[in-house]
Amino acid sequence: MSGLFTRNRVIGLLIAAVICAVDQLVKWWVAGPLGLKNLGDKMDLLPFFDLTRVHNQGVSLGMFQATSPEMRYGLIAVTAAIACVVLVWMMRERKMGDIFGLSLILGGAIGNIYDRWALGYVLDYADFHIGDFRPFLVFNIADAAITIGVVIILARSLFVRDTEEEADGSAETKHA
């Protein structure tokens, strides 16, 4: 493959699609078959992990709450623009490590954008705690993917030096 759709980029797009699909499937499962239908509904699973239905009308850490339809669609527009920037960035990268991190961010962003568009809020449910101490806000798979993707991108930019052969899966094409 040459040009825009290299092997690594196609894999990145597939990873983003899988993250988005799994995020939506789990949200459907939590809100449907598991019965967390109303805000605040809770299911105890483990001594340190529960499912708790939360409607997040803001972005990261609940900031920038969208309390009107105009603010909701504005937030959708801003997050969609950021997702487009991530997509363009991913399609310009060659190294799988960078593409992987960006694909996690993209898949998570699309999952949360879809929620905000369809529901008016992002459905969060994963409630990790140690007794009454909650080191994280209630989150979802999309949030986790975005966070892990950002950590990967930051770690790679600070600590990793890839060789040219790792880019685009070119190790197998250069030696063939």
Per-residue pLDDT tens digits for 122-152: 999 999 998 888 878 899 999 999 999 999 9
Task: From the candidates 23, 98, 127, 143, give the one annotated as an active-site residue.
Answer: 143
Task: From the candidates 23, 98, 124, 168, give the one annotated as an active-site residue.
Answer: 124
Predicted TM-score (pTM) above 0.75:
yes
Has 143 been annotated as catalytic? yes
Residue 5's pLDDT is 81
Has 124 been annotated as catalytic? yes
pLDDT of 176 > 50? The answer is no
Map out the domains of the chain as residue ranges: 14-165
Instruction: Convert the chain into a string of H (helix), E (strand) and C (coil).
Output: CCCCCCHHHHHHHHHHHHHHHHHHHHHHHHHCCCCCCCCCCEEEEECCEEEEEEEECCCHHHCCCCCCHHHHHHHHHHHHHHHHHHHHHHHHCCEHHHHHHHHHHHHHHHHHHHHHHHHCCEEEEEEECECCECCCCCECHHHHHHHHHHHHHHHHHHHCCCCHHHECCHHHHHCC
pLDDT tens digits, 37-66: 999 999 999 999 999 999 998 776 566 677
